[in-house]
């Protein structure tokens, strides 16, 4: 658990909510500890000396600061999901945050995870909202999850081989153990569009990051009912719904900018 975050979970229904009540020192420290591993992959972050925290902040901001407000919300939302989801669920990322194209945001699968049973979980993150908006909070959150569901269904069951090719490369940067690395690649190969008798069973995570004042909170019961509805469609074998509510994305933006300025003025 992380101070400043209230965590609601329904293990039976696989519905989880993180209410980020405070941008606490512990959450800041988690960003400092994990940003390089999330951005480059834990293997590369440890083995390649140029991938320090300071240079990673610089690279993140180079891509971030030229983007629109909506894209910035999305990038901070993906960062929060990368940070919080493995903290509260027993999952390990096998994909990295950065796009391999210079100064581009990541395309395709937002995050791909594996669990203790070495099942593959494909995650789609949708971020949005405005703390000053009068829009109903649950209506907005469900709309984000619906977009996530449509995209992950299209991506994970579609025929864009490059999506899997990218994750297969990422595995080299995220998994230390060579034998386990091969096992994970074999599982990804089974889902690959170019594989004969391709596996079409999918475990997915729908993640929403809603920027909204916490005076009114995402309703767990509404989230549960949404998940029950998706389950009834029988599209996915496994389904997790993970929502994050935070008042604004700008506090994290300001923190990273301050970190960059401090580290470059020493």
Q: Which domain holds residue 9?
A: 5-263
Q: Which pLDDT does position 108 carry in this prediction? A: 76
The number of helix segments (H) and strand segments (E) in the chain equals 9, 7
Instruction: Work out the pLDDT band at 135, boundaries 50, 70, 90.
Output: confident
pLDDT of 103 over the 90 cut:
no
Q: What is the pLDDT of residues 60-73, one digit of tens each?
A: 999 999 999 999 99
90: which 2 tokens? 């027993």
- What residues have CB less than 8 Å from 55, skipping those under 6 apart? none
Average pLDDT score over residue span 17-33: 96
For the chain, how many structural domains are there in total?
Answer: 1
pLDDT at 100: 67
**Residue 54, CB-side half-sphere exposure with 13 Å CA sphere:** 8
Alpha-carbon distance of 10 to 228, in angstroms, equals 13
Instruction: Identify the pLDDT of residue 102.
Output: 58
Q: Say what the pLDDT of residue 75 is.
A: 95
Q: What is the per-residue pLDDT for 264?
A: 79
Tell me what percent of the residues of the chain surpass a pLDDT of 70. Answer: 95
- The pLDDT of residue 242 is 98
Q: CB–CB of 149/124 below 8 Å?
A: yes
- Is 266 a residue whose pLDDT tops 60? no
Handedness of CA 95, 100, 106, 109 (dihedral sign): negative
Per-residue confidence band for 9, with pLDDT thresholds at 50, 70 and 90: very high
Q: What are phi and psi of 207, to 5 degrees?
A: -120, 130
Q: Residue 93 — φ and ψ, nearest 5°?
A: -70, 135
Q: What pLDDT, on a 0 to 100 scale, did the predictor assign at position 86?
A: 94
Q: pLDDT tens across 211-221, in order?
A: 999 999 999 99
Asked if the model's pLDDT at residue 28 lies above 80, the reply is yes
Q: Which candidate, 21, 20, 22, 23, places its Cα nearest to that of 255?
A: 23
DSSP annotation of 245 reads E
Write out pLDDT tens, residues 139-181.
Answer: 999 999 999 999 999 999 999 999 999 999 999 999 999 999 9
Token match 């960059």: residue? 260
CB-based contact 148:126 (threshold 8 Å): yes
Please tell me the predicted confidence (pLDDT) of residue 106: 60
CA distance 174 to 90: 16
Q: How far apart are CA 6 and CA 18, in angstroms?
A: 6
For 22-48, what is the mean pLDDT? 95
Helix (H, G, I), strand (E, B), or coil: what is residue 209?
strand
Q: Rounded to an integer, what distance in angstroms lies between the CA atom of residue 140 and that of residue 128?
A: 8
């Amino acid at each position: 658990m992380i101070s400043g975050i209230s965590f609601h979970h329904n293990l039976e229904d696989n519905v989880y909510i993180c209410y980020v009540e405070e941008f606490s020192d512990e959450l800041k420290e988690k960003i400092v500890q994990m940003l390089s591993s999330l951005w480059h992959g834990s293997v590369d972050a440890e083995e390649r000396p140029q991938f320090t925290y300071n240079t990673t902040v610089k690279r993140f901001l180079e891509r971030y600061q030229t983007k629109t407000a909506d894209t910035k919300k999305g990038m901070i939302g993906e960062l929060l999901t990368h940070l919080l989801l493995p903290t509260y669920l027993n999952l390990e990322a096998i994909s990295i945050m950065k796009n391999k194209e210079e100064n581009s945001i990541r395309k395709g699968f937002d995050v791909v995870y594996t669990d203790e049973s070495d099942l593959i979980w494909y995650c789609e993150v949708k971020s949005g909202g405005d703390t000053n908006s009068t829009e109903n909070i649950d209506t907005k959150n469900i709309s984000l999850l619906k977009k996530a569901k449509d995209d992950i269904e299209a991506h994970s069951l579609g025929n864009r081989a490059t999506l899997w090719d990218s994750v297969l490369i990422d595995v080299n940067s995220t998994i230390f153990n060579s034998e386990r690395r091969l096992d994970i690649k074999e599982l990804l190969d089974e889902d690959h569009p170019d594989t004969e008798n391709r596996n079409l069973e999918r475990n997915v995570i729908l993640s929403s990051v809603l920027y909204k004042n916490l005076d009114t909170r995402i309703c767990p019961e509404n989230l549960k009912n949404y998940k029950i509805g998706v389950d009834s469609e029988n599209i996915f074998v496994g389904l997790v719904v993970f929502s994050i509510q935070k008042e604004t994305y700008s506090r994290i933006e300001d923190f990273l900018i301050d970190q960059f300025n401090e580290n470059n003025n020493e």
